[in-house]
Structure 1
């Protein structure tokens, strides 16, 4: 495919960090895949505080012009990855504040969800 000749320009981001330790606390030696997954999960949990459902937050990360960075693989045993989410794509302020996130949505918009079969 050929990308658009128009490049979106964003200059303000909320950045989420993840390290190579999974949700259960298991450490994965310098595993950037686990680190990036944790950064994504941190972003999803943060967006849920504004009223998005988990599926909505996941969809935002899958369609928004996010930036993913491998931020460090020198801090043995942890790898660090970050996900940069542009704030200008939202109709309300998602920046962290002393008051905490303000819920703007109720997460009630229907989204098709296909649960993994086990």
Structure 2
């Protein structure tokens, strides 16, 4: 099974989720450091749609100015554009496999798509 993780190596939850993926037999992991290689707004829209969440639910509030900018109440398009322009606004880690997508907070949520 192939798995892609949108990863921030400075984030403990992201590191722990990556460890679960690497320790699972048969999983080929692709790591995308999204702060260096941000996904396009279209890719983010697809990830959130496949995860069954809204872009606002995938918005990182802690350590960002998202709330001050009104992003939690903004349109999907505005949130996605902001995330694509400033990937620090993307909550992590996002994991995509053939079985679906999860925002892996807590890290155990990754088990749902393995």
TM-score band w.r.t. shorter chain:
under 0.3
Higher helix share: 2
CA radius of gyration, larger in: 1
